[in-house]
Structure 1
Amino acid sequence: MPDLFSPFSLKDVTLRNRIAMSPMTMHRSTDGLMSDFHVMLYGSRAAGGFGLVFPEQLAIVPNGRTTIHCGGIYDDSQVEGLARVCAIVKDMGGVPAIQLGHTGRKGSETRPWLGRIQLPPDHPEGWQVKGPSPIPYGGKFAHPVEELTVAEIHGLHRAYAQAARRAREAGFEWLEMHFAHGYLGASFFSPLANRRTDRYGGALENRVRFHLEALDAVRAVWPERLPLTMRLGSDDLNERGVQFDEAVAAIALMKERGLDLADISLGFNTDAMTDPPFDRMSFMVERGARVKREVGIPVGVSWNLGVPAVADRVIREEHIDLVFLGRPALANPHWPVWAARELAHPDPFSLVPEDWAWWLRNARSQAAADSVGLPLPARPGGAGPA
């Protein structure tokens, strides 16, 4: 039976545990580049024991960012900084993962702490947002949306492939496509945002065509030996939007086209959601378990899994295969070590680099142990504190 700290293998990649740091957009990039800040942030989480470490969602084109301060992978000049991130994550024992994205009609924003206001195309930090249909999201996202032409859709698929090539050159070993949270892929999937009458709109097989063609484009350049996964907006929680049954069927189609793992999330194509579950513990696990059971594909989920006992239980009961942590990973860079101690793991410091582990295992006095919040090691044979 697996647990939270069991290795997890997918294709030729093995994670040291089932704990992944989710992509969290930090709004600290210039020209889409990774900096010392990003090396510090992601390296520290790998050193803290996370098995899989994602930088923030990286845009495949400049107008696929959320703000002008977001990371990108749309230019070869961005590979060097991404390679630095990969190198530090690997050196600290983690597997470097990348999430490719395009924000679609939810882009051209201010930073969230400045109000997350959508900027008009004529603003110095804004641009014309595009989507499957000319339908604004609404609320703070009120500016007109320009409908993508078929030629532009094909151009985006080529951009996904070019981004995957750069990801491979940078050294990433796991690639995820972000088609959730109201961004471009999610909006193609949802009747709330997609009213097209061509082969990219209408019936489910048309609304998922954007995903399948993007998957094909990436699969053609991404090594077969490395995992290719997708975060899917599986439910809009709105009777006029995506229904979860559709997501299960869509993931089955994606599996046939080379998808290796499904990262199940919500659509967020509208703020008008019925009974939003955000205050419930592990509310995505049941959905993930159904996908795993009915499609026969490995599954990861996020949302409210930061309590170690809960995260461990959903892995032990084999509902899901990976736990994705966002805010808990930002709040505690050593969340896996803390979780291991909470769960009475026999050697929690096996999750950190060997040099750190040596110091932490070898506290020589009660004061030294107390200073870092550690239990004092027992003498060999159980003769009391060393």
Structure 2
Amino acid sequence: MPPLLFDSLRLDGLTLENRIVVAPMCQYSARDGEASDWHMMHLGQLALSGAGLLTLEATAISPEARITDWDLGLYSDGCERALARVLGAIREYAPIPVCIQIAHAGRKASSEAPWRGGAQIAPDAPQGWRTEAPSAVPHAEGEIPPHALDAADLKRIRDGFVATARRAMRLGIDAVELHGAHGYLLHQFLSPIANRRSDSYGGSLENRMRFPLEVFEAVRDVVPAGKPVWMRVSATDWVEGGWDIEETVALAEALKARGAPAIHVSSGGVSPKQRITLGPGYQVPYAERIKAETGLVTIAVGLITEARQAETILQEGKADAIALARAMLYDPRWPWHAAAELGAQVQAPAQYWRCQPREQKDLFKAASFGQR
């Protein structure tokens, strides 16, 4: 029996070769939403990592849905052509399934890149625009309040998620993750910190879940059967009176009832007042509870950096898959090294086989990697 980390995992009609997921990581390197040569290099190396699934960074449904003016989008023919070029190279040289994370930043849009401070850019400034959100409540003190979405806006945004999902399917993408975490638009609807509405989309838990569930249903309807659709969630806001784990369990049950085969469990992001208790695997208990109470395939993420740590989480039944972000940036061959440590095998291109340590000649297994 291989280590659980290198056991296969089925998500709807998609089977992952192992349970290592490359988490979505914004690169702030697109031009007008279009993937650039940076994405070719960045995603190319991650596609060769040996992970079971590669997730594209948060991909905006419209220009105003981007976090920054440099975010990846899939809302125009130009965006579609640019991403097709990157995905074409991945398909030719790396047999890894690809998931897209479809996103709308809501009131956290129109921001600077994080290495330039990440502050909000005013609507009348270059590379800025008016943000939109469930309510006219800014994310942080001193920011310009967002436009509060009306019924026509909600339809426009639902349609935007659907249009982006359709483009993703034309590109042959294998799975869809809706971004319902980290304080972005769908999370803003869920959290009473950001959602102060008095209509059917605010107030009670049922009402706050309504729009994210409508978006999920609309996207699920246009994604072919067998291709999985799930959501990334923040299990808690880490703020008293905010979204919490009990509400997340209820959302997970509702998503499961609508056909979600999995849930990706993160936390935080909706308020600068959050107080997060950091530590190795600090979000795993939330994944564990959701898995235990709903039976959904659960993807854990957050300060999981070591192979044996990841394996123990799976062996103890706390999650079904492990998502890596910063650890994968630091070590794009993390799955290779994990396989070597745990006594497993991983796919790697024949062009790289000669790098195997002499004592681990069975580390790599053959796969079609565009050999010439």
TM-score, normalization by structure 2: 0.93
Distance 1:209 1:267 in 2: 20
Instruction: Measure, in 1, the Cα distance between the counterparts of 2:95 and 2:316.
Output: 26
Q: 1:121 to 1:16 in 2, by over 3 A?
A: same
Deviation at 1:85, TM superposition (A): 2.9
**Structure 2 vs 1, CA of residues 198 and 230 (structure 1 numbering), >3 Å: closer, same or farther?**
same
Structure 1 pair 226/118, CA: closer, same or farther in 2 (3 Å)? same
The separation in 2 between residues aligned to 1:41 and 1:16, in whole angstroms, is 22
Mapped pair 1:127 → 2:129? yes
* Cα distance in 1, alignment partners of residues 41 and 321 from structure 2: 24
Residue 115 of structure 2 corresponds to which residue in structure 1? 113
Q: For 1:319 and 1:346, how far apart are their aligned partners in 2? A: 21
The residue number in structure 1 matching 2:12 is 11
Alpha-carbon distance between aligned partners in 1 of 2:72 and 2:324, rounded to the nearest angstrom: 20
Aligned residues: 359
1:58 partner amino acid: T
Q: What secondary structure does 2:101 align onto? A: strand
Q: Cα–Cα, structure 1 residues 203 and 46, in superposed 2: closer, same or farther, change >3 Å?
A: same
The secondary structure found in structure 1 opposite 2:102 is: strand
| Residue-by-residue CA offset, 1:363-384 (whole Å, 9 max, x unaligned) | xxxxxxxxxxx34568xxxxxx
Is the Cα contact below 8 Å between 1:232 and 1:267 reproduced in 2?
no
Alignment match, 2:349: 353
SS at match of 1:57: strand
Quickly say closer, same or farther: Cα 1:377–1:317, change in 2 above 3 A: closer
Match of 1:100 among 102, 108, 111: 102
Report 1:140-151 matches (<5 A).
142-151=143-152
Deviations 1:288-326 (A, max 9, x none): 111111111111021011111101111122211111111
Give the residue type in structure 2 aligned to 1:148. L
Identical-residue share of aligned pairs (%): 35
Cα distance in 1 for partners of 2:77, 2:316 equals 43
In the alignment, is the contact (CA less than 8 A) between 1:292 and 1:298 conserved in 2?
yes
1:341 aligns with 2:357: no
Q: How does 1:166-315 map to 2 (within 5 A)?
A: 166-274=167-275, 276-278=276-278, 280-315=279-314
Q: Displacement, 1:188?
A: 0.5
Question: Mind listing any 5+ residue stretches in structure 2 that lack a counterpart?
Answer: 362-372
Partner deviation per Cα, 1:312-366 (whole Å, 9 max, x = no partner): 11112221111111111111111100112222x154xx33123422x234xxxxx
Contact 1:305 1:311 in 2 (8 A): yes
In structure 2, what is the Cα distance between the partners aligned to 1:158 and 1:129?
A: 18
- Code of the aligned partner of 2:335: P
Aligned-partner residue type, residue 282 of structure 1: G
Shift of 1:81: 2.2
Q: List alignment gaps of at least 5 residues for structure 1.
A: 362-373, 379-386
Q: Secondary structure at the match of 2:287?
A: helix
CA contact (8 A) 2:268 2:274 kept: no
Summarize deviations over 1:164-211 as a string: whole Å, max 9, x none.
000001111010000111110111000011010001000000000011
Letter in 2 for 1:201: G
Bigger drift between 88-97 and 66-75 goes to 88-97
Cα distance in 1 for partners of 2:207, 2:282 equals 29
For 2:366, the equivalent position in structure 1 comes to none
Secondary structure of 1:4 counterpart: helix
Q: Note the C-alpha offset of 1:235.
A: 0.7
Instruction: Mark the CA change 1:237 to 1:346 in structure 2 (over 3 Å): closer, same or farther.
Output: closer
Give the 3 Å change call, closer, same or farther, for CA 4–377 of structure 1 in structure 2.
closer
Which secondary structure does the structure 2 equivalent of 1:84 belong to? helix
3-state secondary structure, aligned to 2:21: strand
Aligned to 1:27: 28
After the TM superposition, which of the residue ranges 159-168 and 142-151 deviates more from structure 2?
142-151
> Do 1:6 and 1:18's aligned partners in 2 also have CA atoms closer than 8 Å?
yes
The residue type paired with residue 136 of structure 2 is: P
**Greater CA deviation, 202-211 or 72-81?**
72-81
Structure 1 residue 49: Cα displacement: 0.8
Which amino acid is 2:195 matched to? N
Partner AA of 2:277 in structure 1: P
Q: Distance in 2 between matches of 1:376 and 1:4?
A: 21
| Larger Cα-atom Rg | 1
Q: Identify which range, 83-92 or 186-195, moves more after superposition.
A: 83-92
Contact 1:80 1:170 in 2 (8 A): no
What residue in structure 1 maps to residue 328 of structure 2? 329
For the structure 1 residues 346 and 124, does the alpha-carbon distance in structure 2 shift closer, same or farther, using more than 3 Å as the test? closer
* Aligned residue number for residue 61 of structure 2: 60
AA aligned to 1:101 is: A
